[in-house]
Amino acid sequence: MSCNDMEMKLYETWKSKATDADVAAELNAVEGKAEEISDRFYRYLEFGTGGLRGVIGAGTNRMNIYTVSMAAQALADYLANKGGEHAVAIGYDSRIKSDVFAKCAAATLASNGVKVYIFPELEPTPVLSYAVRELKCSAGIVITASHNPAKYNGFKCYGADGCQMTDGAAGEVYSFMQRLDIFDDVKRGDFDALMAEGKIAWIEDSLVESFLDAVEASSVNPGLCRDAGLKVIYTPLCGTGNKPVRAILKRIGIEDVTVVPEQELPDGNFPTCPYPNPEIREAFACALKLAETVQPDLLLATDPDCDRVGIAVKSADGYKLMSGNEVGAMMMNYMLSCRKEQGTLPANPVCVNTIVTSDLGNKIAEKYGCELRKVLTGFKYIGEIIGFLEADGEKERFIMGYEESYGYLCGTYARDKDAVVASMMICEMAAYYKKQGKSLLDVMDEIYAEFGCYRNRLLNYAFEGESGMKIMNGIMDKLRENPPAEIAGDKVVIASDYKLSVEKNLADGTQSEIKLPKSNVLAYKLENGGSFIVRPSGTEPKIKVYTAAVGTLESAEAKLDEFEKAANAIMGK
């Protein structure tokens, strides 16, 4: 691959103007390497609804102090365009350069007259969501790349409501970003000097304590854990969960918590697992080894920014990982059943999950007379539902929201997924059922016995680099132009195109409008209750395929195997 004139011009400009030592060293290292230069400069990182996300390094297609400051400048311009005075709250996780990028963003915003509140140490993403509303900020920023590999970082932006930015707002910020010269149009001040001037302020510890108060208030059975004898192993996977998760478990009376020593302290290199992702078994390797001697009831793992949590449960033949679909459905069943029994379930309760989340939730909601609202992927859409209920004076109707990717929120204090409250609720559930002589696996078996065995499998297909983006776009275009009539031998009953907002019933030929924001998602409802959903990731160079089947455990898993073969063929793998 050769590097075109524009890419080479950008490279030369960066070589002459970039003063950051790490960036300058990398630019020198790739000199004369056309493919390396092209990959760093063939595009600017786009500011989407997830903000920026990319590999840490030198260039317009990398996360560095220049791209971060440029995004902060665009946010400042966006806020200035609205008129009035503004404040922004900033948080960050344990990733490489997260603290550096947080201070760069703070200095740029403060240099533009925006009041900045920043945490003095790394904190979970949901704490930032909470802080935005508590501090009455116009926006918020978290420097994180969630559970991506160590080479990634990101700039995640929030609105005044504590939700991740909407499509419209993100589009406006991106339009301001496109007008900027990354070196000449970005204000960069000195963080310490701006702090001394009072333009940047540390967020006080009392805010984190009030966050924990709000989490604890979401408990369904307060005090239940104190005499349950629950034994837990917890790993923060070298991220932000260590302090707040341990604090909330202590508050609710769970004293027997063993923290995985190799993964206790912050470390952006994540040396103990390939991906700090609680969805994969490799992330539990250290915890599972420790479990051989500790023999806990439950293993908990939170991702680096502590907005997702995964669990493994003790069984007769070792520890079994439970999926996000299972934990979300079980948590909803627990909250609805207990609150109904207590008489605290509101009239017309509301739960929320996403279009790629298991239909098992629909069955549970139906049993308890709960309205289950389906939204697009992205927890901001779940947070948005809370805002709608709040505007109607019906905030108390919200019970919980969840998504299959291990994100859960119980209560309305935050507007993003929260692994702190989810860790608390999971342990509370485990204690509640332990007192009945059941494990969480036993409870899941009971749910499957009542509603059917719903099995789901997420397939990820990576497409790296500039050529990868073209391949991804080509696959989606081909599916739109030639939609499948059947998948793995199962007829497509309903085909939905969320980009075109059209749902087609293939049995009778009718079609209807999808009343959700447009999104590049293709979904196929199949005969026999299965589904097959194709969605390019909004934050990573990959296509995700969500497959679902219902039946017995054996028949559903066999069908998922067939769906995986069909997906491999579609993706050319």
**Helix intervals (H) in 319-408:** 324-342, 360-367, 379-391
Q: Are 242 and 265 in contact (CB under 8 A)?
A: yes
Alpha-carbon separation of residue 162 from 137, 308, 386 (angstroms): 9, 17, 11
Per annotation, catalytic residue among 38, 111, 146, 423? 146
CA separation for the pair 2, 567 (Å, rounded): 33
Selection from 146, 279, 124, 276 nearest residue 215 by Cα: 124
Tokens 């990101």 identify what position? 154
DSSP-derived secondary structure for 422-472: HHHHHHHHHHHHHTTT--HHHHHHHHHHHH-EEEEEEEEEE--HHHHHHHH
Backbone angles phi, psi at 509, to 5 degrees: 80, 0
Cα–Cα distance for residue pair 260/268, rounded to 1 Å: 16
CA distance 131 to 452: 41
Q: Quick check: is 218 catalytic?
A: no
307 and 124 in contact (C-beta within 8 Å)? yes
Beta strand pairing call for 511-513 and 309-315: unpaired
- Give the Cα separation of 415 and 383 in Å (integer): 4
Question: How many C-alpha atoms does 105 have within 13 Å on its Cβ side?
Answer: 35
What CA–CA distance (Å, rounded) separates 430 from 477? 46
Distance between CA 347 and CA 396 in Å, rounded? 9
**Tokens (6 digits) for 225:** 């854990």
Just list the catalytic residues.
146
